[in-house]
């Protein structure tokens, strides 16, 4: 499991998040020409928490295990607003399989220094971990706006989006927190990338 972003971390002390290696799951290669990644490669349906739902539409069924419910709700709205409805993002009901579990961690050790959140793909249920060591009230990113930005960024990974470079265009998927949109919403280019991947 790749545990830190390292991309901007070595230079800037404002590292944001981490993402794990590709998941096994959704059908790869269905989208035409998905957007390129800062580290190489491309956005990928295969590297996502999205599964085909009963209606044949892509969906993420999630379970809540975080104290940052406002941030979770914001992320869900941000990636479902307007024309971004090709993937349904909804809580898992009783007896419904969960694809994504939100949870909290409180870590600053190896793999977590200056990491505010992390999406991890694993067999069974993927996770988004929000790091209380930085996001709790009174901590470096312990405000509503910062938590919303982190949660929306991580949900972007769950949707199959890799890190992009803000040096090329404004994006919610940059690895450096300092370059992310202050409103914690996908930019116009992020929305185009969404449609390249999900239709």
Instruction: Please count the CA atoms within 13 angstroms of the CA of 189 that sit on its side-chain side.
Output: 17
Q: In which domain, by residue range, is 141 found? A: 17-198
Q: Is residue 159 part of a domain?
A: yes
Q: Is residue 78 part of a domain?
A: yes
Q: Is residue 37 part of a domain?
A: yes
What's 145's domain CATH number?
3.40.390.10
Q: Is residue 1 part of a domain?
A: no
Tens-place pLDDT, residues 31-87 = 357 999 999 999 999 999 999 876 668 999 999 999 999 999 999 999 999 999 999
Tens-place pLDDT, residues 142-189 = 999 999 999 999 999 999 999 999 889 999 999 999 999 999 999 999
CA 83 to chain centroid, in Å, comes to 18
What is the length of the chain?
Answer: 199
Q: Is residue 10 part of a domain?
A: no
* Pairing of β 17-19 and β 117-120: parallel
Q: Name beta bridge partners: 65.
A: 103
Contacts 24+ apart (CB under 8 A), 69-73: 70/144, 70/147, 70/148, 71/130, 71/135, 71/144, 71/147, 71/148, 71/150, 71/151, 71/152, 72/102, 72/151
Rounded to whole angstroms, the Cα distance separating 26 from 3 reads 23
Q: Is residue 4 part of a domain?
A: no
Q: Is residue 43 part of a domain?
A: yes
Task: Count structural domains, the chain.
Answer: 1
Token representation of residue 84: 């971004």
**pLDDT value at 92 more than 90:** yes
């Amino acid at each position: 499991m790749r545990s830190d972003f390292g991309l901007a971390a070595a230079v800037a002390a404002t590292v944001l998040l981490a993402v794990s290696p590709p998941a096994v799951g959704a059908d790869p290669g269905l989208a035409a020409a998905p957007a390129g990644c800062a580290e190489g490669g491309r956005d990928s349906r295969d590297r996502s928490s999205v599964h085909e739902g009963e209606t044949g539409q892509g969906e993420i069924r999630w379970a809540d295990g975080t104290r940052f419910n406002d941030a979770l709700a914001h992320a869900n709205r941000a990636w479902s607003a307007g024309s971004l409805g090709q993937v349904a993002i909804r809580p898992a009901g009783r007896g419904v399989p969960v694809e994504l579990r939100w949870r909290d961690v409180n870590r600053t050790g190896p793999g977590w220094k200056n990491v505010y959140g992390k999406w991890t793909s694993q067999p069974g249920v993927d996770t988004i971990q929000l790091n209380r060591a930085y996001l709790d009230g009174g901590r470096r990113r312990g405000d509503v706006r910062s938590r919303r930005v982190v949660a929306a960024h991580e949900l972007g990974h769950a949707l199959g989006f890799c890190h992009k470079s803000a040096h090329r265009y404004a994006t919610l998927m940059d690895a450096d927190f300092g370059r992310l949109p202050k409103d914690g919403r996908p930019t116009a280019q992020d929305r185009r990338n969404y449609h390249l991947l999900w239709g």
